[in-house]
Structure 1
Amino acid sequence: MTALDNKINEHFAGFVVRKDLVKAVKGNAIVPTYVLEYLLGQYCATDDEASIATGIETVKDILRMHYVHRSESRLIQSTIREKGRYKVIDQVSVALNEKTDNYEAVFENLGIKKVAVDSGTVKAHPKLLVTGVWCIADVQYEFNEDARISPWILESIKPIQIAKVDYDQYRALRGEFTTDEWIDLLMQSIGFNPEAFGRRSKLLQLMRLIPFVERNYNIIELGPKGTGKSHIYSEFSPHGQLISGGEVTVPKLFVNNANGRIGLVGYWDVVAFDEFAGREKTANKALVDIMKNYMANKSFSRGITPMGAEASFAFVGNTDHNVPYMLKNTDLFEALPAQFHDSAFIDRLHAYLPGWEVDVIRSEMFTSGYGFIVDYLAEILRHLRSEDFSNRPDEFFSISPKVSTRDRDAIYKTMSGFLKLVFPAGDQTEAEVEELLRLAMESRKRVKDQLARIDSTYPEVDFYFVGSDGEKHAVTTVEEEEYPQFYYKGSRSEHDGEGDPSTAQGEKQRTSGEQTAPPSEGQHSVIGGVALEEGHHVYAENRKGVSYDKLFGPYISGAQRIVVTDPYIRFFYQIRNMMEFVEMVIRRKPPEDQVSIHLVTGPDDGNISRQRELLDSISTACTGTGVEFSWAFDESGTAHARDILIDTGWKIVLDRGLDIFQAPIKTDGFALGDRLQEHRMLKNFYVTYVREDQAAR
């Protein structure tokens, strides 16, 4: 176990489970994760390997004996008849038979209907009237010669959810973890290995949980297939309901006028719409109108009496095109059905989660560490829905007064959700609030910027906040930085033609919070027809389209000697980065020129012989190329800076050195991220370009 796993078990004993155990017990049982973890929590909520092994076998036995497979339904029916009574795990729904004035249950997998249910059971578990609920139930069989009376009787039923949690204890124990540890604990709780994600990617995963902690929160996530968009809503919580976008009707979602019964929004904390995108799909206009009213006012009306509800909406769907195509030709909502590609509907969305930043789910992304039992965490999040943390950012920041009330409410709801998830005890620092505030504002800005494209009556809004330093901090989206030539299409012409050293043509890409003064006399030069300028540039995590050639290429043109100082060229992937830098220099230089590259780095105390071997391999590979690569250890151990010195008079400072890329998807070398740097996601980093003579002063 990791140090974090030990800490989790020390403080949350009995409420956590090893997440890889779900696969070990699932077999061919088609049940949600929270059902399996409920059972694992009863028998495997420990770190003792012997107890875990015994518990796994117990859970397997329970599933084998009591989970109903559709293919074995007749066998289980026979077993109930022969024994008179039998316990089953199945999805159960209940309806009122108005002809007999009795409640009757339907067991989905068992295939039996008209199972008698007493009214007390229905009052205790009203969700049974709305949709199927996974339950552990005792079913009896008593034959009656009266054909009108069903032989099936529901003796007892227990929806699969934890009985009670101690929220005060949960909030107090949060203080035992650092912010990074707590975020990693939440990541492991939803089944992911935090080491496979960058900081921003972790927060985007946690953003999917905000509808569970915020009432009447509306979020949309559009992106490529296979990124796990619907998983959190179908598997994570017994308080969320995932429905297909094509199966939505007004009676099912809001209220049935025939009997006055409220729909899904009255019983579930989250209603998620799967496969919501699709231009060819159609939606009932009455449904769209009532949805818009509910999303704006938390109420709806079908008749005389208005009704209120607290359910949050999550819309997930696949995009047909990549981001630059959408920005150039349409907008980021292009995949929505025509009835929902409507400015009034879109404006009611509190946040747009950029699904294209979420990696396709692969095996190494799953965790074998410990996390909260899903049902325990689901109950905690449900408790948090009654609290409001939206005013906490005001302690440190004020949001632009130019944003509308709807924009402000959206930002605050997203912030409140993030703070409930990460800081339930309220001990956040200014820097931590700023990180979350930027993401909350960016998520709403993505909605508002696209609205300006869709409907010209929506004004463009300057999204920024003012900190305790009194400075104005601009907020941008990652795609705004990555594709400015398309993002500002048809507007903001004042941004055209400004310079940015990360592109060969010198096109401007604004960056979050970046303040770059115009170059003064002597702070620029021209090499190969490209103007090189001093400046400081910040690159957001998950951005693509950046390579060593774009960052460094123009500055190393004409160089004869380059010195790279990076104390962390130690592990294989870091040495591979160094090799790719050398390859860039080889491609850039004229064949007749000679260039020397010297690396100053630190020793890998764990495997220094392997490090030497790999660095020497780069030297050997350069033979006959016109590039001479040499390297040396900084024996003094004082070289902590990461920079590139070029004899053309430039110094390039990087906070991460050459380690600016996230690990590419491993597909035996056939992923574009393995082959082309422009297709790799970035880590968050900055680069500063300084004239060496200026740096000396």
Structure 2
Amino acid sequence: MIDKLRECFDEMVVYKDLKKSNFFSALSLPSFLRDWLLKKFEDENGIFDIEEVSDFIQEYLPKKNDWISIKNRIIVENEHIKFLTKIAVDINVQNQEISFSLPDFGLMNKDTIIEPDVWYACKDELVRGKETWGVVELGYRNPSEDLRLPGRIKLISFTNFCPYTIDLDYYKDARAEFTTKEWFDVILGAIDYNADGYTDMHQKSAMLTRLLPFVEKRLNLIELAPKGTAKSYLFGRVSRFGWLSTGGVMSRAKMFYDMSKRSPGLVCGNDFIALDEVQTISFTDVDEMRAAMKGYMESGVFTVGNYEGAADSGIILLGNISEDNMDEYKSMFIELPSVFHESALIDRFHGFIKGWDIPRMHDDLKISGWALNSEYFCTILHLLRDDASYRAIVDQIVVVPDHADTRDTEAVKRITTAYLKLIFPHVRSVEDVDLREFQQYCLRPATKMRQIIKKQLGILDIEFKGKDVPAFSIRKNYNED
């Protein structure tokens, strides 16, 4: 299969050696950044010069505590400095001034400027999202003699982190060259896992379920798992499009909109917000947060004061669970924070991931071989979020029984659509769908994920007791009304 993978995806395949190599693990780089470096420096045999990569990292990937030194070089020494980082831009409504911030270094908009000629040269790259990864070149605009114009750090140039154009149609066509079982292995390699380390397809499928929020908008999931199953790694280190929040305090301002700063929160500009170690998270105002989450998770819209916003980020709860409570028929949500002890909020989570079906991390699960570039793969998943054709196919295939609960229907269809995008991205119409595989790998697991939520709702609230997910079926004749 490796030959097929390299033939089909060519430059988007890199050699990853996480089992033996300590070079990148010692640097604590996220997967997407590591694979970007591998793509840049590896030869056709997967070999790279460690010294060459080290020099690049030292020059272009500064640490946060290097920021004073960088400011000295820019402001005092009057140098132009280039490095790789996240950048966010803002346009002042009153004076049309364009500024930027560097979130990782604490550089704020009030201290920066993008002059018109630079803006017109790179605006197409910078307006695509809330934050953009790329190589920034910074200089300094001196203050005017009368100090009416303050000194500002200015953007000289910007080069996008992803310099190549991704062809979604090519990706879809290439998928058709692989069997379903082969494709499972391709996906696992893309997210840094060795497929041979899993005992069966059930374990592999459970692992891939974590990727569903990467590929489907506003997919809300709960995962409870034993310690050591690498929840934090997948949601926090693999994709640059998501956000992992670990413990601490979460407020409505941070999550949705900060009125004092007039700044949108985490749900804006991220594909998903994963609340890790959810048992340790506290909320500044439980009732306020619960109301905001219920509204947002239902419609994708939130209101804070006079501000109304919309976003596509999914909400993911990640928590640990003891072995004696790994039972969908018991009250598994009892240890969740009190904000989640309300059935109306839990009902808005589409599905549940049984984290105990995913093996604990061990060396044999670490990839050591050729695999899809994580940065490329996660960008593909990000782009597939906008493709509505898969939901149209699901709507044509899935038969909804009479009097089905609307939230159940939406949850099952949304999860099914995510599975379809992830496992069968090559299908372009209902005629392309293998109904047996669709049932096995999309509809059935989606229904099971929703069914666990329903069982927990029945334990939490007597109103839901005994209510199961409707028996969704597959339409054999697509011309039926």
Q: Normalised by the shorter chain, which TM-score bucket?
A: 0.7 to 0.9
Aligned position for 1:149: 150
Measured in 2, the distance between the counterparts of 1:466 and 1:106 equals 50
Does the 8 Å CA contact 2:190/2:371 hold for their aligned counterparts? Answer: yes
Aligned position for 2:425: 424
Aligned position for 1:365: 365
Aligned position for 1:662: none
Partner deviation per Cα, 1:549-607 (whole Å, 9 max, x = no partner): xxxxxxxxxxxxxxxxxxxxxxxxxxxxxxxxxxxxxxxxxxxxxxxxxxxxxxxxxxx
Change (3 A) 1:43 1:280: closer
- Summarize the alignment of residues 550-629 of structure 1 with structure 2, pairs less than 5 Å apart: none
Aligned position for 2:161: 160
Aligned position for 1:374: 374
Partner deviation per Cα, 1:234-274 (whole Å, 9 max, x = no partner): 22222212224544322332233456543332322222222
Partner deviation per Cα, 1:156-205 (whole Å, 9 max, x = no partner): 23453455211111111111111111110001000000111221221122
Change (3 A) 1:109 1:30: farther
- Summarize the alignment of residues 633-672 of structure 1 with structure 2, pairs less than 5 Å apart: none
Measured in 2, the distance between the counterparts of 1:275 and 1:193 equals 26
Aligned match for 2:30, one of 22, 29, 32 = 32
Q: CA deviation at 1:141?
A: 4.3
Structure 2 SS opposite 1:277: helix
Aligned position for 2:341: 341
Aligned position for 2:409: 408
Change (3 A) 1:333 1:316: same
* Amino acid of the structure 1 residue aligned with 2:15: R
* Amino acid of the structure 1 residue aligned with 2:183: W
Q: CA deviation at 1:232?
A: 2.3
Measured in 2, the distance between the counterparts of 1:273 and 1:126 equals 27
- Is 1:19 the equivalent of 2:16? yes
- Summarize the alignment of residues 72-151 of structure 1 with structure 2, pairs less than 5 Å apart: 72-80=66-74, 82=77, 84-92=79-87, 105-107=100-102, 114-118=111-115, 120=119, 124-126=125-127, 134-141=133-140, 149-150=150-151
Aligned position for 1:446: 452
Aligned match for 2:438, one of 433, 458, 461 = 433
Structure 2 SS opposite 1:300: strand
Does the 8 Å CA contact 2:89/2:126 hold for their aligned counterparts? Answer: no
Measured in 1, the distance between the counterparts of 2:218 and 2:168 equals 22
Aligned position for 2:58: 64
Aligned position for 2:464: 458
Measured in 1, the distance between the counterparts of 2:80 and 2:266 equals 32
Structure 2 SS opposite 1:12: helix
Aligned position for 1:5: 2
Q: CA deviation at 1:103?
A: 5.4
Question: Which segment drifts farther, 242-251 or 388-397?
Answer: 388-397
* Amino acid of the structure 1 residue aligned with 2:166: V
Does the 8 Å CA contact 2:295/2:301 hold for their aligned counterparts? Answer: yes
Measured in 2, the distance between the counterparts of 1:107 and 1:135 equals 11
Measured in 2, the distance between the counterparts of 1:29 and 1:98 equals 41
Measured in 2, the distance between the counterparts of 1:312 and 1:139 equals 34
Change (3 A) 1:142 1:13: same
- Is 1:270 the equivalent of 2:272? yes
Does the 8 Å CA contact 1:279/1:338 hold for their aligned counterparts? Answer: no
- Is 1:289 the equivalent of 2:307? no
Measured in 1, the distance between the counterparts of 2:335 and 2:352 equals 14
Change (3 A) 1:108 1:450: closer
Q: CA deviation at 1:208?
A: 1.4
- Is 1:188 the equivalent of 2:167? no
Q: CA deviation at 1:424?
A: 1.0
Measured in 2, the distance between the counterparts of 1:394 and 1:99 equals 46
Structure 2 SS opposite 1:19: strand
Does the 8 Å CA contact 1:35/1:134 hold for their aligned counterparts? Answer: no
Measured in 1, the distance between the counterparts of 2:179 and 2:328 equals 39
Aligned position for 2:479: none
* Stretches of structure 2 lacking an aligned partner (at least 5 in a row): 477-481
Change (3 A) 1:107 1:29: farther
Structure 2 SS opposite 1:457: helix
Q: CA deviation at 1:82?
A: 4.4
Measured in 2, the distance between the counterparts of 1:111 and 1:325 equals 42
Measured in 1, the distance between the counterparts of 2:370 and 2:41 equals 15
Q: TM-score, normalised by structure 2?
A: 0.83
Structure 1 SS opposite 2:297: helix
* Amino acid of the structure 1 residue aligned with 2:63: H
Does the 8 Å CA contact 1:162/1:375 hold for their aligned counterparts? Answer: no
* Amino acid of the structure 2 residue aligned with 1:34: F
Measured in 1, the distance between the counterparts of 2:409 and 2:168 equals 29
Does the 8 Å CA contact 1:127/1:267 hold for their aligned counterparts? Answer: no
Measured in 2, the distance between the counterparts of 1:30 and 1:122 equals 31
Structure 2 SS opposite 1:314: strand
- Summarize the alignment of residues 251-266 of structure 1 with structure 2, pairs less than 5 Å apart: 251-258=253-260, 261-266=263-268
Change (3 A) 1:92 1:211: same
Partner deviation per Cα, 1:634-663 (whole Å, 9 max, x = no partner): xxxxxxxxxxxxxxxxxxxxxxxxxxxxxx
Higher relative contact order (CA 8 A, sep 6+): 2
Measured in 1, the distance between the counterparts of 2:193 and 2:348 equals 31
Does the 8 Å CA contact 1:451/1:458 hold for their aligned counterparts? Answer: yes
Does the 8 Å CA contact 2:289/2:339 hold for their aligned counterparts? Answer: no
Measured in 2, the distance between the counterparts of 1:360 and 1:135 equals 35
Structure 2 SS opposite 1:14: helix
Structure in which a larger fraction of residues adopt helix: 2
Measured in 1, the distance between the counterparts of 2:421 and 2:261 equals 38
Measured in 2, the distance between the counterparts of 1:467 and 1:97 equals 52
How many pairs are equivalent? 458
Does the 8 Å CA contact 1:278/1:335 hold for their aligned counterparts? Answer: no
Change (3 A) 1:322 1:399: farther
Q: CA deviation at 1:288?
A: 1.3
* Stretches of structure 1 lacking an aligned partner (at least 5 in a row): 470-697
Does the 8 Å CA contact 2:286/2:338 hold for their aligned counterparts? Answer: no
* Amino acid of the structure 2 residue aligned with 1:225: K
Q: CA deviation at 1:346?
A: 0.6
* Amino acid of the structure 1 residue aligned with 2:231: K
Q: CA deviation at 1:438?
A: 1.9
Structure 1 SS opposite 2:332: coil
Structure 2 SS opposite 1:155: strand
Partner deviation per Cα, 1:285-325 (whole Å, 9 max, x = no partner): 11211111111122222345744322222221223x33447
Measured in 2, the distance between the counterparts of 1:397 and 1:280 equals 40
Change (3 A) 1:279 1:240: closer
Aligned position for 1:240: 242
Does the 8 Å CA contact 1:393/1:433 hold for their aligned counterparts? Answer: no
Measured in 2, the distance between the counterparts of 1:342 and 1:222 equals 18
Change (3 A) 1:199 1:154: same
Change (3 A) 1:70 1:382: closer
Does the 8 Å CA contact 1:138/1:154 hold for their aligned counterparts? Answer: yes
- Is 1:353 the equivalent of 2:353? yes
Does the 8 Å CA contact 1:35/1:160 hold for their aligned counterparts? Answer: no
